[in-house]
Each structure stands twice: as C-alpha cells, then as structure tokens.
Chain A
C-alpha cells in the first residue's frame, strides 16, 4: 500500500471516529491504534484478575455469611470482567497466552492499587467504595469509546462496578454505625487507601504523554487531572456524611473554582509502585505466575483429552 493510500485510509478512519462510528475488529485500523488498544485493554484485563487477589485474601475470613456470599460474587464478577476484556483484546490479534506472558514478565502493567495489602476487613469496604469508585470514573466514559468490543464490554462492567461500589460503601457505613473499634478500623483503612486511590488516575497531565492521541480515539474522554478532581469532589461529601476524615490537611472547598483543593500526591511513591517496588508487587505477580505454572499440567490434560476425543470421533465416522 502506498503512503498516499495509507494516508487516505487513515483520514477516513479518523473521520469515522469523529462521526461517533464504532471501529470493529475486522475494519482497517492504523497499526498504532491496534497496538494502543491491545495495550490498554489487556492492562485493564490484568487489573481485573490481579485485583481478585487482595479481595480474595479476605474470602476465608468474612465476618458474616451475607458478606462472604457478596464478596465471593464480587471477586467472581472481576474474573468475568477479565474474561470479556481478554476476549475483546483477542479480536485485535493477540492470544490470551501472549497477554499472560506479558503480565508475568512485567512487560504489561496492571493498576498499581492492587499492590497495596488488604490488612483488615474494612479494606474490603474501602476497596469497593474508593477503588471501584475511581475505576467507574474512568470506565463510564469508555462506554462511548471508538473500539466497539471494548465499549460494549464496558457497559456490563460498569453496571457491575457500580453495584460493587455501593456494596463497599455500605460495608464502611455499617462500620461507622458500629462500635468505636469498628469506626477506628474504617478510618485507618481510609488513611491507608486514600492516596493510593488518587494515584489510580495516573501521572499529572503534564507527565502523561499518551493523553492527546487517546483523546482523539475516545480511548480517554477526560484527562487524568480532571478525573482525579471529579473523584475528590464526589468522594469528600460521602466521607463527611458518615463521619470519616480525609487524611489530607490541605483539603478545602474552593468557592471560586467550585472544586475541592487538595494536597499534592507523593509522586515518588507513585513511581516506585509503578516500577514494581510497592508493598505487594512481588507477591501479586508471584501468585499469578504460580497459578499459571502450577496449572500447566491441567491445561495440557484438557488439550490432550480433547484431542483423544476428536480422534475417537474421527475413527467412528470412518
């Protein structure tokens, strides 16, 4: 294909996106579009399955049967999200095995928030409330993203995530209506997760090189800083309502901006965790690698059995 032809295809492609048309897997797309989508969708999928670990850590210790059933269902939902997202990425010409390999070698990233430990029952509530809350901020906008399979996966994912968020908030609210010990547990959890939750929106806009292109492709509808601000504005009144204190002495309503001003994030910690040196990076990755490596004989057996069955059917047919 000549340079001119490619250029005209690309112009038409950009026009389709500008017209709010969906791009489907078999449509022509620029190589960069394909690669960027594989990267983003697979990282989203990895976040779902690594995200099963910190919460899975509390399934065996839930305080009541009702909470246990709800947590199991939630973690199972995340596995389901992982499945749709891997499938969506597969339509772009990459296999699930390749994506797992990228996760295991550290080539692909996942959301840094899951590298923080879940130390108390309150953390299960905080993760639902803040982490799923922050995820929804990003994901609702993606329902209208340009790549069809990703946008469609997001519709179902967002419905479930918003349920998870309410469930998380309800856990924290129950603690705040409980004993002093329970209230302290909730506050301690917020203290530990507040800043990591704000870090979920990524680097400052000035340090986020992919933003402009992603905006054009509707892979991103708002900038990192805009989303972070929206999250703070939404969450602070929720915390106040149930009597929790946001652990930020600089947090203050700004009447002129009609937004909350808040303190700067610890960017050193942000990059440390992104680069693989957070409290649980090694543990999380090891857990995934172990599950995969220890399961190799099971997957091999399933393949071998399917092959034997196919041969038997073939023989019968002959």
Chain B
C-alpha cells in the first residue's frame, strides 16, 4: 500500500515538476518584465509543491530516498506526468495555453485532494490550492487578453488551444493506481472532474472569443511513463548535475 501511495504522490508531483521546469526555461526572456516575474513566480510555487510531495514520498519510502533522488535520479519511464506539461515553450500563446489547460485541472484536482484521508496529502493540497487559484486567474486573464486582443494574438491563441487540446483528455483518464487510490479515499477520481473542467474552460474560451476545438482523437501515455520526444531532453538538462557528479552534496 505504502509503495502504491508513493507512486501516486510522485505522479501528482511530476506534473508540477515538469511544468515548473518548462517555466524555468523562460526566466529573463518574457515579453514584459511583469509577465517574466509572474511566470517565474508560478514556477517557484510549483517547485515548492514538488518539494512537499517528494519529501513526504521519501519519508513514506523510509530508505535512502530524498526529494532529490525522486526529482533527479529516476529513469524517463518512471516519471508519470501528463503529456500536456512537457509540451515546449513554442511562443507566449502556447505557454499561456498550456498553463491555462493545466491550471483549471490542477485547481479542481486540489479541491478534491483536500479531502484525502491522508492528512499530509490533504494539507499539501490545501496550501497548494491557494497558489493555484492565483495561477488560474493569471492564465485565464491572459487567454482572454490574447484571444480578444489583436487579430494576430487571436490567431496565435486559437492555434495554441487547438494544438494543445489533444492532451486534455489524459487528465481525466484514470489509471489502475488512481482508481485504487480514489477507492480507498486517499486520492481523487479524476474522471469525475471532466464536466466541471469543460465548463470552466469553455467559459473562459467563450470570453476570449476562441472556438472550442472539435477534436475526436486524443494523445495519452505520460501517466504510464510513455512520454513525448521532448521528455528525454527535459530530463537530460534537469538531471545533468546529478548524473555527471553522482553522490555529492550541493
């Protein structure tokens, strides 16, 4: 059971880890100083959450594991983040689109995780929810600004939502582990979040004058450890120090 819980926690943390890593790549390169600072701040929030999850996972594991062995020393297949968060920083519309499509899910997920029968997990969810509520506001505001801005920004925002939409269904597909965790009241049944998610996302897209994508085929795999081609490069960079100089204190 404990091992399954550790795996479950890692899956949650990996979403924040990989999205935080993607946002970290942008620091100093934003379209304005204000957005630069805001995106760095979101990255910082996500890494803060990651530390809480991994520290707890290490404690449960009870061996030589630490937050850093979880973050830096697993193989690609062992990371269980959804495909959405590993998508690249193509342009500001993609960055905002990716953020928005994840944030709305993240908020709904944490709202439920607050009622986990595991008190530590519930406490992390409660603390993270405050931060994520701000993330949703930031990314929703920008989707609306770009969608209902100039012709160019509208086209770019629409293209980003259209392209990223194929990764949204994975958020709600329950793995065996997620089913087990929600059955035992430790975790969240993500399939139940779909309706509320679509309602919230549609409301923002409507205000942004962006058409809801009409997509019939979706991409999944991250939750099973089958990632996109981007993932290897993300990990190569992220794990560089720990792989090049193993077993050292930094």
Contact = CB atoms under 8 A, between A and B. Distances in A.
A204 B32 CA distance: 36
Interface in A260-318: 287, 290-292, 294-302, 304-305, 308
Interface string B27-53: 111111111110011011001101100
B64 to A, nearest CB: 15
A86 B33 contact: yes
A75 B25 contact: no
A300 B67 CA distance: 42
A179 B248 contact: yes
Interface string A62-96: 11111111001101100110110010000000000
Contact of A300 (B29, B71, B149, B240): B149
Given A63-B242, A64-B250, A65-B67, A75 B28 contact: yes
B30 A291 contact: yes
Q: Which of A60, A62, A298 has the most CB of B within 10 A?
A: A298
B44 A298 contact: no
Interface residues of B, number: 47
Nearest to B249: A178
Nearest to B44: A72
| Main SS class of interface, B | helix
B191 interface: no
Nearest to B156: A297
B150 A76 contact: no
Given A69-B51, A79-B40, A305 B145 contact: yes
A172 B241 CA distance: 16
A32 B103 CA distance: 50
Interface in B129-185: 144-146, 148-150, 152-153, 156
The 10 closest A-B pairs by CB, nearest first: A295-B31, A301-B149, A301-B153, A63-B241, A52-B28, A63-B250, A298-B31, A56-B28, A59-B24, A56-B27
12 contacts: A56-B28, A60-B24, A60-B25, A60-B237, A63-B250, A64-B250, A65-B54, A69-B48, A73-B44, A171-B250, A174-B250, A291-B30
Given A79-B40, A174-B249, A298-B35, 13 more contacts: A49-B33, A52-B28, A60-B21, A63-B248, A65-B54, A68-B24, A69-B47, A72-B27, A72-B47, A76-B27, A79-B33, A79-B36, A295-B92
